[in-house]
Structure 1
């Protein structure tokens, strides 16, 4: 599986890309495979504050609905509107076109506490990921 090294990861299978105080968030390749075919994404609301570890969005698949948690605290600045017409982008391209939301991060240093690519890969391979 692919876990890009420029991203940080959570135990709930979200990834985050940070540039200054701005971050983009999505689900990992592992998560999208577990979720299976995504049929709907409830987009995060712009201007809405989110807390680390709290639900910020919902992804629905043919299996069930899955909460997507904020990897860090901040304020939602954008949501991927392309997912309204094509929610399958989450499956097809989870690290690029399938991103879920962007946020202004309250504390950029909080990203450092998240897992690196190697740590996340070990977490997934350990069987602790479920």
Structure 2
């Protein structure tokens, strides 16, 4: 009986504690650029869709994203509007990652906003690729 009471109390506390770890700053993106065949970007400002296939551009974008450390923020449900809805695809055409780049320091990923706390997204470079 005591063990059951302990479990009833300990499990929710443990789950809350573990969930809290998701709010520590972390690198969300760790993709080897050689695994990427293309990056598709839908520009929420213009309605245009662009495929980035140039190896140098892919390397720049992926290496930049790999360097950024993010902190999880508030849920992004019920928010609309964005700059770059981005999908990173491998050589088989499968999605390696989907994220939305809002600014040089904010993305949406898996239902939450994330803010850059170390380094930043090269937003100007991304914008130059999308708006060529």
Q: Shorter-chain TM-score: what band? A: under 0.3
Per the normalisation by structure 1, the TM-score is 0.27
- Compare CA radii of gyration and give the structure with the larger one: 2
The two structures have a TM-score, normalised by structure 2, of 0.26
